Amino acid sequence: MSAAKSVRLDKLLANLGYGSRREIQGLARSGAIRLDGAEWPEAGDRIPLDPDLPQRLTIDGVPLDPLPGLCLMLHKPLGVTCSHKEAGPLVYGLLPERWRRRDPPLSTVGRLDKDTSGLLLLTDDGALLHRIISPKASVAKRYRVTLDRPLSGREAGVFASGTLMLEGEERPLLPVGLDVEDETHCAVTLTEGRYHQVRRMFAAVGNHVTALHRDRVGGLALPTDLAAGGYRVMTAADVAAVFAGL
């Protein structure tokens, strides 16, 4: 068994957003940092990066934030933007303030429009992010759609054909599944993530999306008890579920 990687405590805490290395040295000297209940006064000392560190290390009596390698599921509400820098409310504003200073930073895995709600993943693990969005992984996303006008009955065929061309694009869409719920409600399942894809698909068949909600990413469903605006740290099983089929 290989020993856990070790890191300087001041570097780890600075990268988790607790302050500058100098501020963290001050915290340590003031006795605010404890490991297994004992004060850890030397912020420059190395500490084993054990996965259970957040349960063993406290700062001012509060357990350490999740270590790098963090993956979150968030129930994105309407009206917030998936961006680090645009004007108006941002998804990152739904997370603890300190998490916005993490390095590596948390990023959304793909995007949902401002006017789309539902399951949004965030991670600071760039390799995982790319694995989820990679066309090779073909991770299916399911969207519940509310339409302005009744379905005509020909949408399923058009979407499944693999020939639908969106305005301004050069390649047709990969086939998209459609499950009709009633004449103005349906679910679509797609593996690509083109800009405003679902809204533009329905525009291409002469309809208009009035509400859009993503309820699944791969085999991971948005938990019914996760309210809009809430988030949860994903377990290894949740991450595995993303790569399991719908």
d(CA 121, CA 200): 23
d(CA 177, CA 165): 16
State the minimum distance, in angstroms, from the CB of residue 233 to ligand URA.
23
State the minimum distance, in angstroms, from the CB of residue 6 to ligand URA.
42
- Please, are residues 33 and 27 in contact by the beta-carbon 8 Å criterion? yes
Give the number of C-alpha atoms closer than 13 A to the C-alpha of residue 24, restricted to the C-beta side.
22
Q: Determine which residue in the list 71, 164, 198, 217 makes contact with ligand URA, applying CB under 6 A.
A: 198
State yes or no: is 215 an active-site residue.
no
d(CA 189, CA 237): 22
Residues 206-245, interacting with ligand URA (CB under 6 A): 212
- Nearer to ligand URA among residue 131 and residue 196 (C-beta): 196
Q: In which element (H, E) is residue 159 found?
A: helix 155-160
State the minimum distance, in angstroms, from the CB of residue 198 to ligand URA.
3
199 is a site residue for ligand URA (CB under 6 A) = yes
Q: Determine which residue in the list 196, 215, 219, 243 makes contact with ligand URA, applying CB under 6 A.
A: 196
Annotated catalytic residue within 10, 60, 103, 113: 113
d(CA 158, CA 226): 34
Residues 93-122, interacting with ligand URA (CB under 6 A): 112-113, 116
d(CA 57, CA 40): 9
Instruction: Supply the residues annotated as catalytic.
Output: 113
Binding site for ligand URA (CB under 6 A): 112-113, 116, 196-199, 212
